Structure 1
Amino acid sequence: MSETDLPETDVDSAQLDEDDRLKPEFVRSVLDAVEDGDAEAARALVEPLHPADIADLFELTPHELRAALATALENLLDGEVFAEMNDYVREDLIDALSATQVADIASELDTDDAVAIIEDMEPADQREVLRALDPDDRAAIEEALRYPEESAGRLMQRELIAVPEHWSVGDVMDYLRGHEELTTDFWEIFVVDPAHKPVGTVALSWILRTPHGIAISDVMQREQTLIPVDMDQEEVALRFQKYALISAAVVDPAGRLVGMITVDDVVHIISEEAGEDILRLSGAGDGDINEPIHLTVRTRITWLVVNLGTAMLAASVVGLFQGEIGRFALLAVLMPIVSGMGSNAGTQTLAVMVRAIATNQLTSSNTGRMIYREFRIAAANGAMLGALIGIGTLLIFGNVNLAIVIAMAMVINNLIAGLSGVLIPVTLDRLDVDPAVSSAVFVTMMTDVMGFFSFLGLATLFGLGG
């Protein structure tokens, strides 16, 4: 049996592992062919791959070999591959292509994917690529670029099917069959009034199962979720999730249909936004392993410097009690436990709150209830942790006052952590500051400062440093 007769899974097993990732030995064989100047062998190896896997191949290729790999693969490097590619890798490759080549790639794609390729280019390069496009494609992309980044206008595609409400099902079928230039990838048809405002939608399954003489207005679904063209993409994703949408119409400020958004784009947004929030909580920026090193350093050092400042503030609190610490060294041993546990508790609450804000679960109507809820959780956790650390301290060090002090400090700092984890992100959100970006720094500062202050202050009151 020849290789071409093998089942598809057997052929793929030479390229992909059980998790559908490209095998290191396969990647190495392709790059060896490229380095040996054997472009034909490289193309033969890569040709069976899905466009997403070809995009992965470029991401796994060292920066200095990507241009050579692109040259070797030639026609395999099409618009679908670029649409699947990591942003930084795509920018890297586009810089090596001519404006005509970029225009050819963009013309193969839906508007939203073409915009994703062109939007990050330098203005001069953008203009050159746009000039090389067909007038219709250029007009659509230029219009999309006028909308804010990460808005529905940037995300939407203009290739859709819209029909007037006075048509019959037969008219729609004839229209679909008689116009080859229509898009071929769609799940539903939008019904519009004479002003081109959407009045309903018709699923393809309804079209196929309905007699031709029935009016389209009689089978369309009038209830629909309309997406304003300037809506943030995160809010778009939430609407798709809430209403279980497959596609949705995008309308301009006048209510006219200007595009549609499909669920495959939304899946990408959900993944992107979730990862983005997690990385922002840690101050790691985009967190992309393909991001240039100087950009990563610049992003991380900013928040590390801020953290350094908050750490110095916490250290200054410790300095207020240096006499007590000098006279009773156990205070220095135990105080990091209080601040560390408070920081962990605050991070737990913060993660829940940031997610609740991002998914619109936390609103002005339930904020008070959430604060009370987290206060109760913090009090319960603080009491249990305080009891445990108090008993442990008593058993190990045999000092009753020290056990009481650390138990009380643990309760206090857990309450501070719980309240900070709610109030700080809520306050930042009310001030239109992304809580995922800066909340962690302030929560850590509060738990460190209050952890040290409560423990050392109580120790002073109980005369442990006397």
Structure 2
Amino acid sequence: MSDTAQLDDQITPDSTIPVRDEEGHLNPAFIAAVEEAIEASDSFRVRQLAGSLHEADSGDLIESLSEAERPAYVRLLGDDFDFTALTETDDAIRLKLLEELTNEDIAEGLGDLDSDDAVYILEDLDAEDRAEILGELPYAERVQLQKSLDYPEESAGRRMQTEFIAVAPFWTIGQTIDYMREARDLPDSFYEIYVVDPSFHLLGAVALDKVLRTKRDEKVTSIMTETRHAVLATEDQEEVARRFERYNLVSSAVVDENDRLVGIITVDDIVDVIQEEAEEDLRALAGVGDEEISDSVVTIARSRLTWLVVNLGTAVLASVVIALFEDTIEAMVALAVLMPIVASMGGNAGTQTMTVAVRGIATQELGARNMFRVLRREVLVGFVNGIALAILIGLTAWAWFQSPGLGFVIGGAIVINMLFAGLSGLLIPIALDKLDIDPAIASSVFVTTVTDVVGFFAFLGIAALWFGLPF
């Protein structure tokens, strides 16, 4: 990026305008100052304001700028722009911004990044641009990045960092320390040193604190520990995150199918994975797919329409049940007033159980070993809550319509629907998981359908029998 080449390299950051306010949001005054500098094409001022920003702050700033201002911001920053900031932005914003930059500039920016961050940026680009950008990089970097890109999406191989420290088993602690002091291509931060044989098969790992506490003439193998939690490069990132959580790991070696060391995963990457997976499940429960807040109207509408159509189809089933009792409703209008209460209570109860079940499946806390115990618990919870709600709504209906029989009818329907809500909220996610269907995506539609159908059928059916109404 040559537009800033003639500027003074020693730029004092402007600290007079706070980057964030007291609530942690970007300061509107700071954003306005950057926008003013961009509009004036003042590269010096942009670098003074944002040249030393942390990547997370820079990423938030990019999202706060308009679509036209973003590429100008990057160009005005020149060599001061840290491409790591692009890993902190929404996918749609990142891709749109990359389209406005030349592949040569992107390749230059990626050359300064850790391999895992570079792969994160490259993986969403189309094959032609990706190949051109890789072609601009030095051979060694190009090979490393391409190898990571060859692994499946959302795998450990895509998340791993290929910069690590590996030493031979016959090295001493002194040799290892001297190597780390003299080598210039070490990773910026690391927590372990890995011990490998001549074929790069992983033998073990040495924590840095042990290196500092051991005499120089000791062999690394004397303080080496067997790497019990090495990650397979093709392993799903969610499984890797679960292992980090279970064993309180800070970093972990990544090996290929031949047990050769190919990279490492650190806890900062795992935090991102945990956040991504949690957001993915949350969006799936609401049927909104993988949309981002920056997506267009057309993209969001298309994403949501599929499950809305499915929901429309299941809603028809509830309408069919109501139609079966058309004569019953005409004979007693109060039933039409109270029907939504039964369905609503069952739907809410089913959603509560379903949320707990989906989380249990995702964290592997719910399985065959404890399914029946949890099922028994949910049935009992549904029964207890059903009795309590039946008393409340039964008394309300009695007082409202001056009909004790109507109170008993809706009370009985509530108990039945609460029981089915507990059953369906647990069994439907489990069944979908057994069928290799993501329960977070599909459960809510089927659970609400069950509670609606059962609720309407129980309420109207009991009413017809109790009052001798036609149906």
Report the TM-score range of the alignment, normalised by the length of the smaller protein. over 0.9
Gaps of 5+ in 1: 1-5
- In structure 2, distance between residues paired with 1:239 and 1:448: 39
Rounded Cα–Cα distance in structure 1 between residues aligned with 2:307 and 2:359: 21
User: Match for 2:426 among 422, 429, 432?
Assistant: 422
In structure 1, the partner of 2:350 is 346
Q: CA deviation at 1:47?
A: 2.7
Offset at 1:294? Answer: 2.1
User: Residue 233 of structure 2 corresponds to which residue in structure 1?
Assistant: 229
Q: For residues 251 and 428 of structure 1, what CA distance do their matches in structure 2 show?
A: 32
- Cα deviations by residue, 1:51-98 (Å, 9 ceiling, x for unpaired): 211111111112232222223322232222223333221111111111
Task: Find 1:36's aligned residue among 36, 40, 58.
Answer: 40
Deviations 1:4-28 (A, max 9, x none): xx9x9x9476221123321122212
Instruction: State the shift of 1:308 in Å.
Output: 1.2
Shift of 1:148: 0.7
Alpha carbons 1:190, 1:201 under 8 Å: kept: yes
- The answer as to whether partners of 2:386 and 2:415 remain within 8 angstroms in 1 is yes
Q: Does 1:380 align with 2:384?
A: yes
Match of 1:401 among 380, 398, 405: 405
Aligned partner of 1:454 among 458, 462, 466: 458
Partner residue, 2:7: none
Does residue 209 (structure 1) correspond to residue 206 (structure 2)? The answer is no
Question: 1:98 and 2:102 equivalent?
Answer: yes
1:157 aligns with 2:182: no
**SS state at 1:259 partner:** strand
Distance 2:15 2:423 in 1: 56
Within the alignment, does 1:24 sit opposite 2:28 as a pair? yes
Pairs aligned (count): 459
Q: Percent identity?
A: 45
**What is the rounded CA distance, in whole Å, between the counterparts of 2:191 and 2:16 in structure 1?**
30
CA RMSD of aligned residues (A): 1.8
Aligned to 1:192: 196
Whether contact under 8 Å (1:201, 1:224) holds in the other structure is no
With structure 2 as the length reference, what TM-score do the two structures score? 0.94
CA distance in 2, matches of 1:325, 1:143: 67
Give the distance between the partners of 2:17 and 2:66, measured in 1 at CA: 24
Which residue in the other structure is 1:389 paired with? Answer: 393
1:3 equivalent in structure 2? none
- In the TM superposition, residue 161 of structure 1 has moved relative to its aligned partner by 0.8
Residue 344 of structure 1: SS of its match in structure 2?
helix
Greater shift, 361-370 or 262-271, is seen at 361-370
Q: Please state whether the residue corresponding to 2:241 is helix, strand or coil.
A: helix
Misfit runs of 4+, over 6 Å: none
What does residue 447 of structure 2 align with? 443
Task: Supply the distance in 2 between the matched residues of 1:276 and 1:290 (Cα, whole angstroms).
Answer: 16
Structure 2 contact 59–89 (Cα < 8 Å) conserved: yes
Quickly say closer, same or farther: Cα 1:90–1:376, change in 2 above 3 A. same
Tell me the secondary structure at the aligned position of residue 254 of structure 2.
strand
Residues 346 and 420, structure 1, Cα contact 8 Å, conserved in 2: yes
User: Please, which runs of 5 or more residues in structure 2 have no aligned partner?
Assistant: 1-11
User: 1:239-388 maps to which residues of 2 (within 5 A)?
Assistant: 239-388=243-392
- Aligned residue type for 2:423: L
> Normalising to structure 1: TM-score of the pair?
0.95
Matched to 1:90, the amino acid is: R
The answer to whether the Cα contact below 8 Å between 2:91 and 2:292 also exists between their aligned partners in 1 is no
| Residues 10-19 or 234-243, more deviating | 10-19
Aligned equivalent of 1:64: 68
